[in-house]
Amino acid sequence: MKDAKLVKRKYRRGLFVGRFQPFHLGHGEAILKLLEDMDEIIVIIGSAQLSHEIDNPFTAGERYMMIRSAFHELKIKPNRYHLLPVPDSPTHAVWVAQIASYAPPFDVVCSNDPLTIRLFKELHVPVVGVPFISRDRLNSTLVRRRMLSGENWCELVPTSVAEEIKKIDGVARVRELAETDSPFGRRDFSKTV
Amino acid sequence: MKDAKLVKRKYRRGLFVGRFQPFHLGHGEAILKLLEDMDEIIVIIGSAQLSHEIDNPFTAGERYMMIRSAFHELKIKPNRYHLLPVPDSPTHAVWVAQIASYAPPFDVVCSNDPLTIRLFKELHVPVVGVPFISRDRLNSTLVRRRMLSGENWCELVPTSVAEEIKKIDGVARVRELAETDSPFGRRDFSKTV
Amino acid sequence: MKDAKLVKRKYRRGLFVGRFQPFHLGHGEAILKLLEDMDEIIVIIGSAQLSHEIDNPFTAGERYMMIRSAFHELKIKPNRYHLLPVPDSPTHAVWVAQIASYAPPFDVVCSNDPLTIRLFKELHVPVVGVPFISRDRLNSTLVRRRMLSGENWCELVPTSVAEEIKKIDGVARVRELAETDSPFGRRDFSKTV
Amino acid sequence: MKDAKLVKRKYRRGLFVGRFQPFHLGHGEAILKLLEDMDEIIVIIGSAQLSHEIDNPFTAGERYMMIRSAFHELKIKPNRYHLLPVPDSPTHAVWVAQIASYAPPFDVVCSNDPLTIRLFKELHVPVVGVPFISRDRLNSTLVRRRMLSGENWCELVPTSVAEEIKKIDGVARVRELAETDSPFGRRDFSKTV
Amino acid sequence: MKDAKLVKRKYRRGLFVGRFQPFHLGHGEAILKLLEDMDEIIVIIGSAQLSHEIDNPFTAGERYMMIRSAFHELKIKPNRYHLLPVPDSPTHAVWVAQIASYAPPFDVVCSNDPLTIRLFKELHVPVVGVPFISRDRLNSTLVRRRMLSGENWCELVPTSVAEEIKKIDGVARVRELAETDSPFGRRDFSKTV
Amino acid sequence: MKDAKLVKRKYRRGLFVGRFQPFHLGHGEAILKLLEDMDEIIVIIGSAQLSHEIDNPFTAGERYMMIRSAFHELKIKPNRYHLLPVPDSPTHAVWVAQIASYAPPFDVVCSNDPLTIRLFKELHVPVVGVPFISRDRLNSTLVRRRMLSGENWCELVPTSVAEEIKKIDGVARVRELAETDSPFGRRDFSKTV
C-alpha cells in the first residue's frame, strides 16, 4: 500500500456498510481494492444491536474485534480506516441521516445494494460499486452454513477472523442458535421471549 | 355530490384506514360510496413511517399528495374529508387509542379487515364494511406488481395519482427496491442496514 | 387573498412547524403574511404524539380541528395549505429527514427557532423568519396560563378555536392537568405512571 | 378481613397504580381500606422499567418482593390481590389502553392523581379516591430522603419492607445514586451514559 | 404438595419463561414436576405487550387470569409461585438483564430453548430442562389450530383455562384474527395499520 | 509510552465511558495515566444518538474525529485504544448489558460516576477511579460555557480538538443552540418539534 500522504486518490473518504456476520475474504479483497481509489474507508458495522440470532450470531463487539484483526493481517494501516458500530434505524427514510450523524464526513458511498444506492442517490451522494470477487463462493451466509454443517468454513475467512471466532467458541453458538425444542421447528425467538 | 348542509346522512364522520401504496380506483369508488352515508370521512394514511420497502415504496408525504390530487379529480370537496398520516403503533392493544388521539372525533369505522373490526367492536365503536368493487382486479399489490413487470398499471389508478407517481419517478424506485445483489436472493434490508 | 393561479409568488411551498397548544391569533397573522410570498404552506402539527400534559394539553386530532376551523375563519382556501400531524423524532440529527418523509416537497422553511434554522441550513434548505406580531402578548403559553388563572384567553385565539376548545371542555382539562395530590407539588406523570 | 365469598361488596375488582419506591405504611392503610369496598385489588407496579435512579432506586422485581411481603404482613389474602409490573407508555393517550391489556378486567379505578382520574373518566371508567392517611408524613419521597439523611425511615414502612430493603442493601444504593463526581453537581445519568 | 418450610429442595427459586398462548396441560404438568426440586417458581408471561395476533391472540391480563386459575385448579399454593408479565426486549443481548430487573432473585432457569439456555449460561446461571410430556400432542400451537378447525381444544388445557377463554369469547377472536379480506390472503397487520 | 508487548501491566483492557462534548485536556491526561496500568483502553462515545442540543452539541461522528485526532497528538498508538460510539439504553438495568455487547471484552471499568460504579459492581466487574486533574478547571461544561461567552476555550482542549471544532464551525453551532425566539426563554426543543 502506498503512502497516503504522497498519493493523489479519487476520493477522500468512502463509506462501506455491512453486517459482517462474519467478515470474510471477499470483504477483505473488496476493501483493499476500494482503498486504491480513496484515502480512507469508514467501515460501518451495521445492525450493531443484533446478536444471538441465527442470521446475526455475533455481537457488535465481537465483529469489531474480528475486523480489526483482519485489517492488521491484511496490512491495512490504522490511519486508513474507521471502524464504527451503528444500530438499525426504525425506518429507511431516516437511516441515511443516522449514518451521517455516527460517521466522519464522507464523499462517496461503496455499495451494490439497490436500496442503499437509491437512498444515497436521492441525497445526491456519489455511489461506487463494491468489487466483490467470487460472490457466490465468498459470502457470510455460506460461512454460517458451513459452520452448521461441519464443513471447512475457515478457508473462507482471514486467519485472524477464524482465531477470533474460536476464542469466543462461535461455532458452538451458531449451532445452538439453529437448534429448537419446538415440535413444529424453530420458534421465532423475538416472539417467544 | 349534494351539499353537506342540506342532506341528512346516517353518520357524522367515518374513519377509513389504509396504507395506500398506492391509492387506486377501488379506493376512490369506495370512498365516494361511503360519503353517501356520512357527512365527512377521515382518511388515515397508515404505516406513515414506512417507505422505500418493496411493499411500502412511497413516503407518507408522497401518498398524501397522491390522495389529495385524486380527491380533487374525483370532485370530493375539501370540507368533506380529512387526510392524516399516522405511524404504526407497537402493539395492537394500543393502536385504537393512538388512532383516536391523531384523528378528529368519529362515529363509525369503515373496514373489511377482521382485526380492525374486532378491535373497534371491543370498544363498542360501530363498524361498516368498505364497498370495494372488483377487489381481485383493483388492489395496491397488483398495481406494484404491474409496475415491476412493465404491464399497464396506470389504468388501475386515478389519472392524477399516475401523474404524482411519474413526478417522483416512482416506478424506477419500485423496481430498484425489488432488485438485489445477493447471491441468495434479496436480503432483508431492515436486517442488512 | 389573490388567486394562486395568477399570482407569481417567491416560493412554491413553505414548511411551518409548531405545536399549536393551542393555535392563536399570532399564528394566524403570521401564516396570512407568509402566504403572500408562497403558493402553499405546509403546517406541521409537531409533537403529535403528546397530549394530556400541562404544556401539551391537546391531542393531535383536537389541534387539527382547531387549525382547520381557524383557517376557514381566516378565509385561507383549502388548496393553499396542508395540515399534517408528525410525531417527535428521537434525535435532532434525523428530525429533518423524518419531516421530509411526512410532508409534500417544500422549497423554503419558515422558522424563528435557531435550532430549526440551523438543522435546515446544514442541509442547504432556505429559511425565512416567521413574522409574528406582539410575540410577548400572543403566544400559546400565555393562552394556557390565562386558562389556568381564569383570565380572558378567548381574545388571544380565533373565535373558531375558542369554540373547538369549548366543545372538548378544554379549559377543565388544562386545570386538572395542573392540579396534583402530591404533598411536594406536582409529580412528573411520565415518572409516576 | 371477611370472607370474599360471603360479603357483598360495592365493586368486583379495583385498579391501583403506583411506583412504590418504596411501598410505605400509607399504601398499606389505603389498600386495606379500599378492600372493604371491593372483592379484589389489582396493584400495578408502574414505571416497571425504571431503577437505579435517585427517584426510582428499586427494580420492579425488588418492589414486587417488598409489596408481596407487606401484603403477607398485613394479612391480605392472595386471592384478594393481583400484583403486576407494567412499563411506562410513551404517551398518555395510549397509557390507559396499555394498562387494560396488562391487567385483569376491573370495574373501578382508585386514584387521587388528577391526570389518571381524567384519563379514565374520558373512557367512562368509574374512579374512587385513595384514602391516604397523613399524606404529608407518609410518602415515598420522604422515605428516600430519610434514607439519605440517615434519619429513621423504617418507621414509615411495614417491617417486611424494611427487611427486603436491607436484604438488597437498598439504603447504600440510594446514597450512591445521590452522589456525584461532577464539579457542577450531579449530572443527569440518562444524558451521561 | 409438601410444605415448603419442612422440605429441603435443590433450588430456592426457579425462572420459567413462556408466552402461554394459551397455558395448556403440558405447562401444568411440567411446573408441578419442577416444583418438586425448587421452593418457588417465577412464571414469566413473555411477550406481554403482544395480543390480537394470530400467534399471540390473548393479552397479558387474559393470560395472567388463565394461569392463576390453572394454578388454583392444580392446587399450587400462592406462596410457591410468582406470576409476572414482561414485555420483549429489543435485542437478545439485553433480554437477560431485563428479565433480571423484572423478576425476584432466582438461582436456576428452567428451559429447553437452546437460545435461552445459551444466554443464561453465558452469564453462568444454572439451567435445567423443562420436563414436558407428550410435547407433540400438548402445545399451544396445536390448541390454537384446534380452535380454528373446530376440533376439541378443551381437552388440551386445564378446565379453568377453558373457562377463562370462554368468558372472553376467545375462540371467536382466534378465528377472526385468522380471517382476511385480502384477495392475496391475509395481510400482515403490523404493516397494514 | 513503552512497548505494549514487553510491559506487564495490571489489566488487559479497560473500559472508559464519556460523552466527550467535547474531549478536553483532562480526558487526555487521565487516559494517558490509565494506560500505564492497562494494555488497551476502550473509549466509549456515550449518548451517541444525541447532537444539536445545548448540552450535547456534537454528533458521534464529530466526537469520533476529535478524539482520534487528540490520540494522535497525544501519541497514543492505535493498537492501544478502541473508540466506539454507543447509543443510550432506555433503562439503567440493561445499560451494562448493552455496553458489553458493543465493546470488546474488558477486565476493568474506569469511572468516578457513582451510578456506573454501582452498576458494574453489582455484576462483580472491578472498577478503578479516573485520575482527572484539576476537575473544576478542566471539564466539558466549562468548555461549552467559554464558547458561549467568547472566552478562551481552546486552552482547555488539545490543539487537534480545537482544529476539528473549527472545521465544523462548532462554536457558531453551540451559540445558535443557546439562542431562543421564545418570549419566555428557550423552549425545550424535544417538546417543540
Q: Which residues of A touch E50 (CB under 8 A)?
A: 191
Checking if the pLDDT of E192 tops 60, the result is no
- Which of B103, B99, B110 lies closest to B32 in space, CA to CA? B110
C60 touches chain B (CB under 8 A): yes
In this prediction, the residues of chain A whose per-residue pLDDT falls under 50 are: 1-2, 184-193
- Which of A89, C61, A64 lies closest to E90 in space, CA to CA? A89
Cα dihedral across residues B98, B103, B104, B108: positive or negative = negative
Contact E92, A189 (CB under 8 A): yes
Instruction: Measure the CA–CA gap between B11 and B4, rounded to whole angstroms.
Output: 12
- Which of C193, C166, C192, C157 lies closest to C27 in space, CA to CA? C157
pLDDT band at D185 (very low <50, low <70, confident <90, very high): very low
Q: What pLDDT is recorded for position A3?
A: 53
Distances (CA, A) of C16 to C30, C34, C129: 10, 10, 10
Question: Which CATH entry fits the domain spanning E10-181: 3.80.10.10, 3.40.50.800, 3.40.50.620, 3.40.50.300?
Answer: 3.40.50.620
Q: Which residues of B touch E49 (CB under 8 A)?
A: 90-91, 93
Distances (CA, A) of B173 to A96, A117, B165, C84, D75: 17, 11, 10, 25, 67
The 3-class SS string of chain E reads CCCCCCCCCCEEEEEEEECCCCCCHHHHHHHHHHCCCEEEEEEEECCCCCCCECCECCCHHHHHHHHHHHHHHCCCCHHHEEEEECCCCCCHHHHHHHHHHHCCCCCEEECCCHHHHHHHHHCCCCEECCCCCCCCCCCHHHHHHHHHHCCCCHHHCCHHHHHHHHHCCHHHHHHHHHCCCCCCCCCCHHHHC
Q: Which of C85, C100, C103 sits opposite B102 (nearest CB)?
A: C85
- Number of A/F CB contacts below 8 angstroms equals 53
Which grid coordinates are listed for D8? 357483598
Chains near A with 3+ CB pairs less than 8 A apart are B, C, E, F
Distance from CA of F3 to the nearest CA of D (A): 32
Bond before C105 cis per omega within 30 degrees: no
Instruction: Measure the CA–CA gap between B92 and E173, rounded to whole angstroms.
Output: 13
Which grid coordinates are listed for F156? 482547555
Contact E48, B94 (CB under 8 A): no
Mean pLDDT to the nearest integer, B85-114? 93
Distance from CA of F93 to the nearest CA of C (A): 16
For residues C133 and C101, the model is more confident at C101
Q: How many CA atoms lie within 13 A of E129 on its CB side?
A: 4
Note the pLDDT tens digit of each residue in D97-131. 999 999 999 999 999 988 899 899 888 999 999 99
Q: What pLDDT is recorded for position A133?
A: 84
**Domain segments of chain F: what residues?**
10-181
Query: What is the phi/psi pair of residue A29, to 5°?
Result: -60, -45
Distances (CA, A) of F38 to B39, F109, F128, F168: 73, 11, 11, 34
Strands D11-18 and D108-110: parallel
Instruction: Measure the CA–CA gap between A162 and A170, rounded to whole angstroms.
Output: 9
Cα dihedral across residues F30, F32, F35, F36: positive or negative = negative
Cα dihedral across residues E182, E188, E191, E192: positive or negative = positive
Three-state DSSP state, C36: coil
Instruction: Measure the CA–CA gap between D91 and F128, rounded to whole angstroms.
Output: 40
Cβ within 8 Å, pair F101-A65: no
Cβ within 8 Å, pair A139-B49: no
Cβ within 8 Å, pair B78-C78: yes
Q: Does an interface of 3+ CB pairs under 8 Å exist between A and D? A: no
- Strand order of the sheet with strand E127-128? E81-85, E38-45, E11-18, E108-110, E127-128
pLDDT band at D4 (very low <50, low <70, confident <90, very high): low
Note the pLDDT tens digit of each residue in E125-134. 999 999 998 8
Distance from CA of B78 to the nearest CA of A (A): 29
For residues F164 and C91, the model is more confident at F164
Instruction: Measure the CA–CA gap between B116 and B127, rounded to whole angstroms.
Output: 9
Checking if the pLDDT of B182 tops 90, the result is no
Distance from CA of D101 to the nearest CA of B (A): 6
CA angle B39, B45, B51 (to 5 degrees): 165
CA angle F114, F116, F117 (to 5 degrees): 60
Note the pLDDT tens digit of each residue in D19-78. 999 999 999 999 999 999 999 999 999 999 999 999 999 999 999 999 999 999 999 999
Cα dihedral across residues B109, B115, B119, B121: positive or negative = positive
Beta bridge partners of D110: D16, D128
Specify the DSSP element, H or E, that contains F37: none
Contact B28, B75 (CB under 8 A): no
- Secondary-structure percent of chain A, ordered helix, strand, coil, rounded to 5: 40, 15, 45
Distance from CA of D123 to the nearest CA of C (A): 14
C32 touches chain A (CB under 8 A): no
Checking if the pLDDT of E151 tops 70, the result is yes
Strand ranges for chain D from DSSP E: 11-18, 38-45, 81-85, 108-110, 127-128
pLDDT band at C123 (very low <50, low <70, confident <90, very high): confident
F41 touches chain A (CB under 8 A): no
Cβ within 8 Å, pair A104-F79: no
- Which of D92, B166, B131, F123 lies closest to E101 in space, CA to CA? F123
Cβ within 8 Å, pair B60-C102: yes
Which grid coordinates are listed for C32? 396570512
Contact A97, A103 (CB under 8 A): no
- Which of E23, E115, E106, E104 lies closest to E71 in space, CA to CA? E23
A98 touches chain C (CB under 8 A): yes
Q: Which residues of D touch F117 (CB under 8 A)?
A: 176
Q: In this predicted structure, which of D77-86, D178-187, E50-59 has the lowest mean pLDDT?
A: D178-187
Share of chain E above pLDDT 70, in %: 90
The total number of residues written for chain A in this structure: 193
E168 touches chain B (CB under 8 A): no
Distance of CA B168 to the CA centre of its chain: 18
Q: What pLDDT is recorded for position C122?
A: 86
Checking if the pLDDT of E190 tops 50, the result is no
Cβ within 8 Å, pair B90-E184: no
Q: Which residues of D touch F56 (CB under 8 A)?
A: 191
Instruction: Measure the CA–CA gap between B167 and B49, rounded to whole angstroms.
Output: 21
Cβ within 8 Å, pair A100-F61: yes
For residues E52 and C181, the model is more confident at E52
- Which of E24, E44, E14, E9 lies closest to E132 in space, CA to CA? E24
The 3-class SS string of C107-169 reads CEEECCCHHHHHHHHHCCCCEECCCCCCCCCCCHHHHHHHHHHCCCCHHHCCHHHHHHHHHCC
- Strand order of the sheet with strand B11-18? B81-85, B38-45, B11-18, B108-110, B127-128
Distance from CA of F43 to the nearest CA of E (A): 20
Q: In this predicted structure, which of A30-44, B53-67, D3-17, E165-179 has the lowest mean pLDDT?
A: D3-17
Q: Which residues of B touch C102 (CB under 8 A)?
A: 48, 59-61, 85
Q: Which residues of E touch B112 (CB under 8 A)?
A: 181
For residues B1 and A47, the model is more confident at A47
Note the pLDDT tens digit of each residue in F8-26. 999 999 999 999 999 999 9
Q: What pLDDT is recorded for position F49?
A: 95
E141 touches chain A (CB under 8 A): yes
pLDDT band at E1 (very low <50, low <70, confident <90, very high): very low
Cβ within 8 Å, pair B85-C87: no
Instruction: Measure the CA–CA gap between A48 and E121, rounded to whole angstroms.
Output: 22
Cβ within 8 Å, pair A193-E88: yes
Cβ within 8 Å, pair B100-D93: yes
- What is the torsion angle, in degrees rounded to the nearest 10, for the CA atoms of residue F84, residue F88, residue F91 and residue F94? -20
Note the pLDDT tens digit of each residue in C23-58. 999 999 999 999 999 999 999 999 999 999 999 999
Mean pLDDT (chain B, rounded): 90
Beta bridge partners of F101: none
CA nearest to E51 within chain A: A191
- Which of F64, F28, D23 lies closest to A103 in space, CA to CA? F64
pTM of the model: 0.91
Q: What pLDDT is recorded for position E191?
A: 26
**Residue that the C-alpha cell 464523499 belongs to:** A107
pLDDT band at D135 (very low <50, low <70, confident <90, very high): confident
Distance from CA of E58 to the nearest CA of F (A): 27
Checking if the pLDDT of F183 tops 70, the result is no
Q: What pLDDT is recorded for position A5?
A: 61
- Which of F56, A95, F52 lies closest to C117 in space, CA to CA? F52
Q: Which of E59, E87, E104 sits opposite D64 (nearest CB)?
A: E104
Q: Does an interface of 3+ CB pairs under 8 Å exist between F and B? A: no
Mean pLDDT to the nearest integer, F111-138? 90
**Residue that the C-alpha cell 461503496 belongs to:** A110
C96 touches chain A (CB under 8 A): yes
Crossing angle for the helix pair F159-167 and F170-178, nearest 10 degrees?
A: 70
Q: What pLDDT is recorded for position F182?
A: 55
Pairs from D178-181 (Cβ < 8 Å, separation ≥ 24): D178/D54, D178/D148, D179/F114, D180/F113, D180/F114, D181/F112, D181/F113, D181/F114, D181/F135
A169 touches chain E (CB under 8 A): no
Mean pLDDT to the nearest integer, E17-28? 97
Distance from CA of A142 to the nearest CA of B (A): 10
Cβ within 8 Å, pair F93-D52: yes
Distance from CA of E175 to the nearest CA of B (A): 9
